[in-house]
Each structure stands twice: as C-alpha cells, then as structure tokens.
Structure 1
Amino acid sequence: MKSNRRSFLKATAAFGTVSLVGFPHIWNKNSSLAYAADGEIKVGVLFSLTGTTAIIEESLNKATIMAIEEINAAGGINGRKLVPVVEDPASDPATFAEKARKLVLSDKCVSVFGSYTSASRKAVLPVFEKQNNLYWYPTLYEGRECSKNVIYTGAVPNQQQDDFVPWLVEKFGKRWYLIGSNYIYPKEENNYCKKLLAELGAEVVAEEYVPLGHSEFSSVINKLKAEKPNVIFSTVVGDSVVALHRQYHAAGLDPEKMPMASLTTSENEVAAMGGEAAAGHFTSAPYFMVWDSPENHKFVDAYKKRWGGDKVTHFVSEPSYFQIYLFKQAVEKLAGSDISPNAIREAVKGQELVAPQGKVRIEPENLHSWLWPKIGQCQADGQFKILKQSANWLEPSPYKAYPNQHCTAEGLKQS
C-alpha cells in the first residue's frame, strides 16, 4: 500500500499542489496511475461479515473473492492482478458509508463491489457520486434509482414480479397479505405489487412492516390465522426470514392453502432455517442453484470446492460472481490504457456474458442488467424446483412503477 501511495504522490508532484475535486481532469489522469500501481488493480469488497444481514452478505463476499481468485489464477486482467481490499460494514448503513470513503479515498480502489440492503446502498451512494467512483450492486432492489456511479446487476421489480404476481393470483387467489422489513426496498416492491394486484382485480387484506432483525412473529401468525389470505407476499430480509418461516411452520399453517411468496428467500436462508420450514413456499428470481446449464454447473462446483461442500449458491451470490467478470471485460476493453472509474463505466455499457443464469447484458441507458426471470418452489431438501422460466431475457425497467420517469444515459427524465 505504501508503494502505491508513493507512486500516486510522484505522479501528482509534476502538477504541484492541486485540489482533487477542483481539477477532475488531473484527478482522473493520476488516479488511473494509482489504480494500476505495481501492476495491480485494487478493488473494494464491501459486504457485511457480521450483524443481521451477514447471513446473506457473507456468501456475497465469498462469491466475489472466488471470482477474483479465478481471474488472478488465469493471469489477471491485461497482465495485472486484482487486489481485493475487504471491509466489514457490520450490517450498519453508517459504517457502510465510512468504509466506502476509506476504500475510495484512502485505498484508491477503482471500483467497489458491495451491499445487500437498499439502506446500505443509499448510505454509500453519496460517496461514489461525490468522488465519481463506481459501485457494483448485485442485489435485487426496488428500482427508482438512476445513478451513473452504480452498476446494477440484480433484479428490479418488473424482473421479479411481472410473471410472478399474475401466476400466483391465478393459482391461489386474490386476497393477499404483504409482510416486509421496514425500509425502502420492501415498501417500493409492495408499491409495485399493489399496482399489479389492482390490475388483476385482487386486494391487499393487510400490509405490515417489521424492523430489520425482527424475530418475533407471533402477532403476524395470529393475523394470518384470522385473515386467511390466499398469498403471503414476503419482502422480509436477513435473519428475520428464518424466524418467520420457522414460526409459520411451527404454527401448523399450510403452504398448499396459504403459501409465502417471496422475492428475498434464497437457498442461503433456506439452509439456515431447514428445508422443512421452507418446503412448499415460492420465490421469484433470475437464478436458482438447480438451474441446468454448463456455466452454472461450473459455478456451483467451484463454489463448493472453494468454500465447502455444504455451501449453497443463490440469486444474489450469482450476480456477485458474474459482475466481477463484467468488470474484467470492461477493463480488458480499455486495453491497459485509462482504467479510471469513468472509463470503466463507459466500457461496461452493453457488455454481455453467459452467466450461470444465462446470457446477461448491461443496459447502456440505465446501467441495469438484462436478466432471466424464474419461479421456484422450495423442496424439503432445501433446493428449489423451477416451475416457470421466461422464454427470453427481460429488460430492466427501474422506473416501471413510475411511468412518467425514465432513467437515461443523460440522467433521470420526466415525461
């Protein structure tokens, strides 16, 4: 790290004492040298290894590190090794922001890969916009964001709900109970869900939010028994997913009559709660571990070999993995010249690769990803049975719930 800093100081000395903010053209030129110092490219890895969301984020860290190790073992990027700088923000948005500033300003990372919750992404966003750096966000999220400083590789509402909600209404009925964790993601997903339900003539019998880390769902279970909804639409996250499913199962509720339909319950949470507590419930996602493709078999086998035969892959660890390869392709496209965040952002636009879920693409207009929606039902063995999959990859529409707003390469446009 000291030699990298010396290289940066030497490179800037010729220009005298300058303000990095006041002279962005000088900053970009010299930061490009710092990013590639000593034949290495530093990237930040910012996932919670402790706290309430560590149950899921720890696996995102593993997928990211594995991809970096694979790239380095194959010779790096244009002969340069990737150097991951790992920080633990401990599931706390304020700590996310603090660690992000360190990775960008002190460690001089050319990109940072991180976050699970939207609260943490919102916390770091000002850092990346002010410093004009790049944040790679692998998680499904609520949309309604248009930033030139974030590459979004997870699903947005239309990619999880457009097929899922009509399918559930047709199969189970029109009385829905909405339960989520209390922050922006569940509320915006539920906003989109309610729009779809209204179009289908369905109703919301209750809408409830619980704090992050909430573990006591007895009052929710009692309401479910009283209301008897056809579908329980869950956007609960982290440890709370495990508690909700276990208490639902202990109460003797029947998923054949009143299933939980989730956007956030993956193989990782199922492994924590046990297959019996999850069996019969549904999840919509672009990726499931059982997906049958050569790319996925390779991914799953490598993940188990690296991290343990009992480990699982899921719909957030998969984009955590493939976005490192999108980064690699973007940097390779630059042919070793300018590897500043600006240059990488322009180079990643339109990039495609065959990920474990299928071919993905970064949409140039909004920096979100074209993905492959699927519907899975959890089985007692902890894996999902894929019941439906889209015939084609689906375009990301981060503002579909707000038809008068559009994210473009020039920024957010109103119509």
Structure 2
Amino acid sequence: MVNPSIRIGGLFSNTGVTAAGECSTMRGAQFAIHQINAAGGVNGRPLELILRNPDSTPALFAMHVESLIREENLRFFFGCYTSAARKAVLPVVERYNALLLYPVYYEGFEYSRNIIYTGATPNHNAVPLGNYMFDHFGSRVLMIGSEYVYPYETNRLMSDLLYERGGSKLGEYYLPLKNARAEDFARLMVKARELQPSFIFSTVVGETMAHLYQAYADAGLDPAVMPIASVTTSETDIQQMGVHLGTGHISAATYFQSIDTPLNRQCIAQYREMFGQHQVTDRCWEAAYFQVHLLAKAIARAGSTEVEEVLQTMLGLEYDAPQGRVRIDEHNHHTYLHSRIGRANAEGQFDILYESQNALKPGPYAVAPDFSGWSSQTGRRP
C-alpha cells in the first residue's frame, strides 16, 4: 500500500506583472520536492504540491488560500511574492491556523505566528547595499520604485541611512506596479541626466523593471559612473530584460547563482537537468528551495503534519542551503541569511563584490540601521 502524500499549497502566479519571478520561485519549490521524493519522501510519504495561479493579484492569493483550506483541507503553503499578496493572505492563515512559508525579501515590521519568512529583511540587503554604494560611489541618490508598500518602506530606510551619512536625496519617485509606461521611465532618466546622482536606487519590481533599464541605456548613462543599485533586480529579471541592459549595474541579495561552492554548483546542475540548461537561479528561487527542505525536515522530526507540532520543530531549525547555512530564528520566525553585493556581468550573472562572513541575524524590526555582522573589508572578494 502506498503511503498517502503530504499535500501542500503552492501560490505562484504564472500570469500577471510578477509572473517571471513567481515562476522561478515555483520551480525552486518543485525542484526541492523532486529531490525529497526521490530520496524516499518524508517518513515514507511523498510531498505533493497543489498549485494555484493568483494572477499577481493580492485578492486572488487570499481567495485561493481559503479555498484550498476549506475545500482541500490543506494547512501548509509556499509562495506569495509582493508584500501586498502576503498581507492579503496573512489574516486567512491566522484564521484557520495554517502555515505560510514566504520566500521573498520584504520590508520587515511584521510578525505572524502563522508565517515563516525565509527572504531577506532590510539588514540583509538594503543596509549593506547603502553602505557599499555610499563608500564607492557617493551619497547623492535618486530613488525610483514601484507603487506599493515594499518600495515605500525600503526607501524610507535608505533615506535614514542617507541622512546619517550626510547625503542628499535628489528625488523619490513611484510608478504603478502593473501599468507604468516606458515614457514614464524615460522622463525620470532625463532627470537623472540633469541631476547627476551618485547612483539610482531602484525598488522597481516585476515586468516594468525592463522599462527602467532600457530608459537608462537610451539616456546614454554609464553604470561605471552612475549605476542603478537595486535590492530587487535578479538573474531572472536580467534574463527577461536582456543581459546587455543589466551589465554593470549592482544588486544586493542573499544568494547569487555565481556563488562558487560545490553545493551550489551541484544544485544548479541538478536543477538544469530537470528544467533545462537555459534556466537561471536567483534569490527567491533559492529561498523557495531551502524552505521546502526545512519544512520537510520539520515534519520528519515532528512525526506529524499538525501545524502546531511542525511549527515548534521548525523554530531554530538549520539547513545547508546553496547560499550557505541558514537558520529559522525561534523568536521572530524570520531567517538567518547571508548578505551579498554583486555587479551584473556580460553573461547575466553577478560578480560578487562583498559578502558577510556569516549568516546575519534577521532584523525585521530595526528602526535604526545596524551594520553588525557586516564587514566590507574581511568580506571582500578578490
């Protein structure tokens, strides 16, 4: 007799403005499930991913979660992409005592006992990126973001960092997440050419990101002098927009595909065997990948699929992820993660410029910037 599967909901949009990033994240989860099942499953039971397409629409994320809970009796979920989607799902998982594992970087200032946050908090990406950019390019900054909560809050933090360093904010602009036009970005690049900031700080998300980088190139700006520095631009985004548009620009992330370790190289090789040699990996792919392994490990140790028992086992759990060893913080449900800064190269990958020596404790509630655990000198790559 075949053991019954452990069924888990997957909330990944394959249509809409964030489809490219969400599909990459979905493949990370699918790849981890394939590995776990190939090794015998969890206590002899295979994992089964029940997918729904929320069309990059927050209300549909909430609708699908409630439907899967009430009609399919699911209690564990992977996914959500934007903070708006996560915030729509949060009251649903709390109401039904379900558990969402959220794999995307976000602005912090949130806690739910029904969410495990495996993406970066600002001390993993925005803070070290600001420190690096101020030291290497200067502190006259033009900020451009998508119009929703994550860019607003991240720019607020970057503004605090900037003022601490005696810098100048030359402007802060937001464009719609879904229908920002190429000409809107072109107008902002005219401003950039006039103002000559030290760098452009981007929190633009989704398919309109290509408009920003295209407008930058069309304006004749030089990333060696005035780069776009971003906490959102990934290998997947660069592949989508065209490698030539990303080259020379800078990003902060917990994970880059270019991490040169045996574990990461092996993981990428196996992933490409399953999904194709053209596939790239990125920070959210990696978080989705390791959170599946963490959940499987927690279920195995708990010997149960009851949310309360699994959650208690998961807190404090560690895993050797492609980025390095990670750990779930038992106090705030966020994750100890590594911090890296990279410059996009002509192959669409990132040359790693700086990295933290160890995984950094998550700082989702930091009101003041905290550089503890970050060393720009000892963390430097040759």
CA contact (8 A) 1:176 1:204 kept: yes
Q: Report the equivalent of 2:365.
A: 399
Cα separation, 1, equivalents of 2:75 and 2:279: 30
Cα separation, 1, equivalents of 2:217 and 2:223: 9
Query: Which sits farther off after the overlay, 65-74 or 138-147?
Result: 65-74
Cα separation, 2, equivalents of 1:320 and 1:364: 19
Cα separation, 2, equivalents of 1:105 and 1:326: 25
The alignment status of 1:357 with 2:304, answered yes or no, reads no
Q: Report the equivalent of 1:289.
A: 257
Q: Report the equivalent of 1:238.
A: 206
The alignment status of 1:333 with 2:301, answered yes or no, reads yes
Q: 1:99 aligns with which of 57, 61, 64?
A: 64
CA contact (8 A) 1:290 1:385 kept: yes
* 1:46-68 C-alpha deviation (Å, 9 max, x unpaired): 01111110011011111111111
Cα separation, 1, equivalents of 2:260 and 2:295: 25
The alignment status of 1:204 with 2:169, answered yes or no, reads yes
In the alignment, residue 308 of structure 1 is paired with which amino acid?
G
- The runs of at least 4 aligned residues of structure 1 exceeding 4 Å deviation read none
Cα separation, 2, equivalents of 1:172 and 1:93: 37
Q: 2:78 aligns with which of 109, 113, 117?
A: 113
Q: Report the equivalent of 1:182.
A: 147
Aligned length: 365
Q: Report the equivalent of 2:337.
A: 371
* 1:263-320 C-alpha deviation (Å, 9 max, x unpaired): 0000000001112111110000110001011221122112211111111000110010
Cα separation, 1, equivalents of 2:114 and 2:151: 23
Q: Percent identity?
A: 42
* 1:2-52 C-alpha deviation (Å, 9 max, x unpaired): xxxxxxxxxxxxxxxxxxxxxxxxxxxxxxxxxxx9622110010111111
Q: 1:218 aligns with which of 186, 190, 198?
A: 186
Q: Report the equivalent of 1:195.
A: 160
* 1:324-357 C-alpha deviation (Å, 9 max, x unpaired): 000011001112xx32111111110000011000
Residue 142 of structure 1 deviates from its aligned partner by: 0.3
The alignment status of 1:74 with 2:39, answered yes or no, reads yes
CA contact (8 A) 1:103 1:112 kept: no
Cα separation, 2, equivalents of 1:179 and 1:401: 22
CA contact (8 A) 2:9 2:49 kept: yes
- What aligned pairs does 1:6-405 form with structure 2 within 5 A after superposition? 39-213=4-178, 214-216=180-182, 217-335=185-303, 338-401=304-367
In the alignment, residue 184 of structure 1 is paired with which amino acid?
V
Cα separation, 2, equivalents of 1:390 and 1:309: 30
Cα separation, 2, equivalents of 1:383 and 1:220: 26
In the alignment, residue 305 of structure 1 is paired with which amino acid?
E
Residue 225 of structure 1 deviates from its aligned partner by: 1.3
Task: Give the TM-score normalised by the residue count of structure 1.
Answer: 0.86
* 1:180-215 C-alpha deviation (Å, 9 max, x unpaired): 100000111111111111111112110011101323
Cα separation, 2, equivalents of 1:290 and 1:139: 19
Residue 162 of structure 1 deviates from its aligned partner by: 2.5
Residue 242 of structure 1 deviates from its aligned partner by: 1.4
Cα separation, 1, equivalents of 2:258 and 2:368: 34
* 1:350-385 C-alpha deviation (Å, 9 max, x unpaired): 000110000000000001000110000001111110
1:163 aligned counterpart, secondary structure: helix
Cα separation, 2, equivalents of 1:369 and 1:119: 20
* 1:370-410 C-alpha deviation (Å, 9 max, x unpaired): 0110000001111110011111210001010279xxxxxxx
> What is the root-mean-square deviation in Å for CA atoms of aligned residues?
1.3
Cα separation, 1, equivalents of 2:48 and 2:368: 40
CA contact (8 A) 1:286 1:371 kept: yes
Larger Rg: 1
5+ residue gaps, structure 2: 370-382
Cα separation, 2, equivalents of 1:128 and 1:161: 28
CA contact (8 A) 1:56 1:238 kept: yes
Residue 161 of structure 1 deviates from its aligned partner by: 2.3
* 1:80-113 C-alpha deviation (Å, 9 max, x unpaired): 1111100000001111111111122211223100
5+ residue gaps, structure 1: 1-36, 404-415
CA contact (8 A) 2:201 2:230 kept: yes
Cα separation, 2, equivalents of 1:342 and 1:240: 40
Query: Which sits farther off after the overlay, 211-220 or 307-316?
Result: 211-220
CA contact (8 A) 2:129 2:252 kept: yes
Residue 138 of structure 1 deviates from its aligned partner by: 0.3
Task: Give the TM-score normalised by the residue count of structure 2.
Answer: 0.93
